[in-house]
């Protein structure tokens, strides 16, 4: 294992006096006291070990909302790149991917190589190292299904080691890494199937668009192309010419309700019809946050203050349409939506992105 005290080989200690808005897809957020860049795992470890506390690890910036006051400490930019095969057999391949590798570049490479398991996660912005933190998922796939281990720097123990997937605490949009700053993700290992076909298509919308039945398999390239088209239609693929993509994607997670709460929701929504729902283990039911938001009176394009608005394409995305809005404006709209959904349906929505130096 490389020496965790190794010195950076590039300019990882260089101060960059830019506002943090430029490092996020939402394009909001104030300045940091210091910003340094780390181009490798060794540099990342060194930057974290020697940084002035507090420390914020920031990669693609696609799942964070940073307050207008910025961050009162050191921001370490994860800029490590690379992927390599570390194990393979006749049916599978295991790929180790550096934390700073752009996620969709990885997905594109796996599809091109005939490796199945990530194809339905196409078009998601951000870096690979961020995916285990919130167990990124879309269109019926989650990274927890293919991750075998996560290499981390443990800031408490001062060591580098690999956490097996079974110990990562993966859950719906969560893991042991989320909301905890103990571990810095350095690389992620994915075990993928050698197959020209996708995994079984689980998501009804994707199946309909592909023209297949739920459970069928399709060529990897077809699955990727359709997922990209569906995401783009919802403003979920970054496009500098589309203001709807100045967002963090889905702002709220789909609520997971116990049976009693779900029955209460059905009573409150009897005049509207049943919300889209997906049964889970132990009687839990996941319901559509987008449906709740829409039926609470917040339709696509609903405006907030100073140029923030619900996306014109998808009610789950809150956008900085003007490009000049403040985080406070976005959070005001988010609170209004959350409170009205609770008042109407008795269900509390929770944010999907990580909130930095701000609260909902």
Annotation marks residue 84 as catalytic:
no
Nearest partner of 248 among 58, 23, 63, judged by Cα:
63
Contact of 259 with 275, CB cutoff 8 Å: no
**Dihedrals φ, ψ of 302, to 5°?**
-55, 125
Annotation marks residue 250 as catalytic:
yes
> In which region does residue 81 sit, left (phi positive, over 0), alpha (psi from -120 to 50) or beta (all else)?
beta
Active-site entry in 198, 250, 269, 311: 250
The residue written with tokens 């930057």 in the block is: 47
Nearest partner of 121 among 108, 137, 106, 109, judged by Cα:
137
In whole angstroms, give the CA distance from residue 115 to residue 235.
27
Read off the tokens for 166.
Answer: 């079974």
In whole angstroms, give the CA distance from residue 55 to residue 46.
12
Give the Å distances, CA to CA, from 313 to 61, 223, 349.
21, 21, 20
Contact of 126 with 63, CB cutoff 8 Å: yes
List, by residue number, the catalytic residues: 173, 250, 352
């Amino acid at each position: 294992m490389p020496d965790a005290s190794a010195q950076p080989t590039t300019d990882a200690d260089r101060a960059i006096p830019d506002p943090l808005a430029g490092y996020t897809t939402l394009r909001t957020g104030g300045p940091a006291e210091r910003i340094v860049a780390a181009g490798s795992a060794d540099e990342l470890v060194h930057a974290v070990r020697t940084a002035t506390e507090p420390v914020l690890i920031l990669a693609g910036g696609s799942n964070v909302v940073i307050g207008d006051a910025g961050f009162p400490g050191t921001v370490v930019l994860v800029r490590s790149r690379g992927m390599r095969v570390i194990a393979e057999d006749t049916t599978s391949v295991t790929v180790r991917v550096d934390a700073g590798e752009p996620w969709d570049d990885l997905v594109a490479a796996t599809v091109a190589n005939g490796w199945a398991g990530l194809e339905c996660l196409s078009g998601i912005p951000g870096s690979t190292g961020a995916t285990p933190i919130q167990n990124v998922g879309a269109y019926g796939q989650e990274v927890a299904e293919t991750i075998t281990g996560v290499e981390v720097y443990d800031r408490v123990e001062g060591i580098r080691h690999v956490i097996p997937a079974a110990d990562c605490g993966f859950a719906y949009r969560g893991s042991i890494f989320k909301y905890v700053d103990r571990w810095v993700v350095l690389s992620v290992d994915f075990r993928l199937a050698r197959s020209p076909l996708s995994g079984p298509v689980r998501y009804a919308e994707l199946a309909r668009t592909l023209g297949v039945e739920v459970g069928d398999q399709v060529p990897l390239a077809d699955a990727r192309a359709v997922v990209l088209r569906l995401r783009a239609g919802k403003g979920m693929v970054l496009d500098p010419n589309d203001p709807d993509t100045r967002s963090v994607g889905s702002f709220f997670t789909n609520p997971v309700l116990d049976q009693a709460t779900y029955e209460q929701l059905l009573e409150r929504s009897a005049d509207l019809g049943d919300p889209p729902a997906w049964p889970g283990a132990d009687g839990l039911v996941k319901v559509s946050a987008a449906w709740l938001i829409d039926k609470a009176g917040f339709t696509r394009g609903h405006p907030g203050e100073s140029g923030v608005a619900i996306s014109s394409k998808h009610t789950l995305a809150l956008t900085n349409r003007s490009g000049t809005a403040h985080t406070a404006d976005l959070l005001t709209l988010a609170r209004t939506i959350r409170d009205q959904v609770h008042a109407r349906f008795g269900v509390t929505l929770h944010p999907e992105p990580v909130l930095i130096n701000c609260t909902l």
